Amino acid sequence: MSFVVLTSKERENLVDLFFKLRKKGEHSPHARMEAFTALRCLKAVHSNAIEDKRVDRIFLQVLLHNAGISDKSLISTHYNNASNELKGQEEMLRWLESQVSQGTEFSISLLLEMHRYIFGKTFPDSAGRFRQEEVRISRMAHRPPHHSKVQQLLYQQFETINQRLFSIDSITHENFFNVLRLSAEVHYLVAHVHPFEDGNGRIARAAGDYAMLVHGFYYDVIMTDYRDVYLDALEECTLVDPDPLFHFIEYSYLETLRRIAGFFDHVAVES
């Protein structure tokens, strides 16, 4: 799959589908909750699979649904850690949804708590704490900033992002893509700063989702099949130009909405 940019027609279809599904969700709140549950699970599985190729998606689904033997450590430490992190991420996404209802803004504490949810059982000593040493990202040219600059960089950018994000009163056809762009910006910001020893990709994707959740959007699920294209888009971004990731998220979000459109069609038929 090569780098993709939606056509003008596809962008129109994306916006139309968003409003169509939003209306159906308002008409059937239970179906909306079910769609969120499905996307939350799908996102947890694929977000973890993007980071760890050693555990197949099928086994991640087994872990998420507590199937198989209860003590995963009897199989291997790595498998047990994958189980804890997967369940922790799903819990973290639920917690993020609760923060939306409270009007919580992006902050250092929000990011740290997200990380604590995922890694609290796997790495209790470093969970919810920024890195204290230099890191390199495998297979990527980007070199994250010095660890002493992490908090300052995040704080400065969060202030601007919050102002823009919470100044949007309601979603219209005109400002729809503004939210996706803000999602791309915060997503890339976290990936660029790389504030943690581990889990930066999962936190970055969830942070990007939070910008969307604030305005009633569904999650964007970046499928493992698009991993290489997604990472290429990240590689091409800068803090002042997140366009490559923004265009990828447009594509990914259209795919995500198409996935749940069939479910809502069944709800409409049966109602």
DSSP-based three-state secondary structure for 11: helix
Over residues 155-166, mean pLDDT:
96
pLDDT number for residue 3: 61
* Per-residue pLDDT tens digits for 131-148: 999 887 776 777 899 999
Residue 39, domain CATH: 1.10.3290.10
Residue 15 is assigned to a structural domain of this protein: yes
* Per-residue pLDDT tens digits for 66-113: 899 999 999 999 999 999 999 999 999 999 999 999 999 999 999 999
* Per-residue pLDDT tens digits for 206-256: 999 999 999 999 999 999 999 999 999 999 999 999 999 999 999 999 999
- For the record, the structure tokens of 63 come out as 């872990």
DSSP string, 202-233: HHHHHHHHHHHHTTTPPPP---GGGHHHHHHH
pLDDT number for residue 1: 42
Distance (Å, rounded) from C-alpha 81 to C-alpha 66?
Answer: 14
- The chain-wide mean pLDDT, for the chain, equals 93
What angle do the packed helices 227-236 and 243-270 form, to 10 degrees? Answer: 140
**Greatest pairwise CA separation for the chain in angstroms:** 57
- For the record, the structure tokens of 46 come out as 């694929």
pLDDT number for residue 127: 97
Distance (Å, rounded) from C-alpha 254 to C-alpha 248?
Answer: 10
Residue 79 is assigned to a structural domain of this protein: yes
> Count of domains in the chain?
1
pLDDT number for residue 194: 96
Residue 135 is assigned to a structural domain of this protein: no
- Taking the CA atoms of residue 261, residue 267, residue 270 and residue 271 in that order, the dihedral angle to the nearest 10 degrees is -120
Residue 152 is assigned to a structural domain of this protein: yes
* Per-residue pLDDT tens digits for 50-65: 988 888 999 999 999 8
Q: Of all helices (H) and strands (E), which one includes residue 121?
A: none
- For the record, the structure tokens of 125 come out as 């000593």
Strand partners, 238: 241
DSSP-based three-state secondary structure for 126: coil
pLDDT number for residue 33: 96
Residue 204 is assigned to a structural domain of this protein: yes
Strand partners, 157: none
For residue 37, how far is the Cα from the chain centroid? Answer: 14
Residue 231 is assigned to a structural domain of this protein: yes
Alpha helices in the chain (DSSP H): 8-27, 29-51, 57-64, 77-101, 108-119, 150-165, 176-193, 200-213, 227-236, 243-270
Over residues 191-195, mean pLDDT:
96
pLDDT number for residue 53: 80
Q: What single letter denotes the amino acid at residue 106?
A: F
The domain in which residue 196 lies consists of 8-127+142-270
Residue 133 is assigned to a structural domain of this protein: no
Residue 2 is assigned to a structural domain of this protein: no
